[in-house]
Structure 1
Amino acid sequence: MKQPAILLDNLDISYGPTRIVHGVHLAIEEGESFALVGESGSGKTTILKAIAGLAPDWTGAISVLGRPRGHRPDRAFARDCQMVFQDPYGSLHPRKTVDDCLSEPLLVHGLKERDRRVKDALAAVGLDQRFRFRYPHQLSGGQRQRVAIARALMLAPKVMLLDEPTSALDVSVQAEILNLLKKLRREQGLTYLMVTHNLPVVSFLCDRLAVMRHGRIVEVADVSDLKSGALKHAYSRELFIASGGEPAS
């Protein structure tokens, strides 16, 4: 049987004495695009942070590409899995150029051909080479998010964690970034686990979704069920109607 790209088994995550995520089970197939949806505070981003090693207080099991995730920083894990954050300005160092930003993962991991890799990464996200030595404040929001995506791709990971990757952008720019993510997934064989509040984004980019409420998954559905309004759980239907959808009769 094929090994899932991401496997979460009985995952509980806490911040101090407060448990945020309760008993989550998920298996995301290699090459799949999967969304976590639900209201703010439901635990979606916390799951991404635990997978990425940014929320170490968890129990249960996390594995990526068949490799168990430990609780400590793991350099080898970064070669498999990278995260793109919601705020493209806050995630880039204000006093480092785009070249510095993209080169840093290569330097940390001792990878060669830095010049070629940086040029290739910029081209992959649709940025001209003239952006290479600019600073974040010299870029638009969409350009900054393209740099953040390029940085996540520098180590050639197979799994990408996307935390509301378009919510801080103008609507027209959101469409550009979503088309870019779809293109990169197709060209590089990427697996996506994305957090979003935007159900139309899920319909466009994802194959399946899990609906979360109060730290628990209440439903896992195919995106076809979302598009047809055939979600089963009452809370899932509430989210669907709130997004402007018409439930199936």
Structure 2
Amino acid sequence: MNAIELTHLDIAYGPTRVVHDVSLAIAEGESFALVGESGSGKSTILKAIAGLAPDWTGEISVLGSPRAHRPDRGFAKSCQMVFQDPYGSLHPRKTVDDCLAEPLAVHGLKGRDGRVKAVLAAVGLDQRFRFRYPHQLSGGQRQRVAIARALMLEPRILLLDEPTSALDVSVQAEILNLLKKLRREQGLTYLLVTHNLPVVSFLCDRLAVMRHGRIVEVAHVEALKRGALAEPYSRELYAASGGTLQPA
């Protein structure tokens, strides 16, 4: 069974269609990237899957179940999203403990203390961070908290929207290593949106190159590492990265 299937997906904002006829199949356990310039429709696809961009046609299937057009509780237990800006995605007046426990309260799940401790350890944060506020954390620590919150319901899929682009380069490497570790240990599936090809090279198995809301190429990451992408636009992106695809 595939983790995510998109079939002839069109997405619009009002009268403007921004994603055109996208079809993809992402296997369970795979790390898959959507790459392209800003405005290519990458993040819009994540939002449609998450129920945050409800004006779409076609089919979206997650773990074999057809996706509704809006968020629902059952979906939240299987798929979670990590946003680009960790400060903006965390409530400034809630402690880390409150942020992490909120999904448990919404879904009526018990064992708050044990679950919070376990997920903080999983993302490499000491228990002393538990009762701090977001403004008391560094950018990398806030992103670790955002990832921890996404893991609280033990989802099988994470939607990652530019999860390192707001961070310093050294901190980016820490978060990428964490994501790689979590995928290996928890058997997670990733759908990553990024414009950073070195991130794709380090974290992903396959990628789809998007332009003007359409997929122009799907390739294995080995083709990216060799600079052997087929489409001219894909090669332009590769050249813009400097042709150097070492891990970030």
Structure 2 length-normalised TM: 0.98
Q: What residue is the counterpart of 1:18 in the other structure?
A: 16
Q: Distance in 1 between matches of 2:54 and 2:142?
A: 28
Give, in angstroms, the shift of residue 163 of structure 1: 0.3
- 3-state DSSP of counterpart to 1:60: strand
| CA distance in structure 2 between the partners assigned to 1:60 and 1:167 by the alignment | 30
CA separation in 2, counterparts of 1:52 and 1:97? 25
1:187 to 185, 188, 197: 185
SS in 1 for 2:87: coil
> SS of 1:161's equivalent?
strand
Deviation at 1:72, TM superposition (A): 2.7
Secondary structure at the residue paired with 2:180?
helix
Counterpart pick for 1:40 among 31, 38, 63: 38
Letter in 1 for 2:145: V
1:205 aligned partner, one-letter code: L
Letter in 2 for 1:8: L
1:77 match: 75
Structure 1: distance between partners of 2:219 and 2:243: 16
2:106 to 96, 105, 108: 108
Q: Which residue of 2 aligns with 1:67?
A: 65
- Choose from 19, 25, 28 the match for 1:27: 25
- Check if 1:209 corresponds to 2:207: yes
How far off is 1:73 after superposition?
Answer: 2.5
Corresponding residue SS for 1:89: helix
**TM-score normalized by the length of structure 1:** 0.97
What is the identity percentage for the equivalent residue pairs of Structure 1 and Structure 2?
A: 84
Matches within 5 A, 1:1-249: 3-245=1-243
Deviation at 1:71, TM superposition (A): 1.1
Q: Separation in 1 of the partners of 2:78 and 2:62?
A: 8
Once the two structures are superposed, residues 120-145 of structure 1 have per-residue CA deviations (whole angstroms, 9 ceiling, x without a partner) of 01000000000000000000000000
Aligned partners of 1:183 and 1:67: how far apart in 2? 27
| Cα shift readout 1:109-167 (whole Å, capped 9, x = no counterpart) | 01110100000010000000000000000000000000000000000000000000000
**Could you tell me how far apart the structure 2 residues matched to 1:71 and 1:42 are?**
21
Q: Structure 2: any 5+ residue segments left out of the alignment?
A: none
Structure 1 residue runs of 4 or more that deviate by more than 4 Å after TM superposition: none
Supply the distance in 2 between the matched residues of 1:72 and 1:192 (Cα, whole angstroms).
21
Superposition RMSD on alpha carbons, in Å? 0.9
Q: What is the CA–CA distance in structure 2 between the aligned matches of 1:104 and 1:113, rounded to whole Å? A: 12
One-letter code aligned to 1:91: S
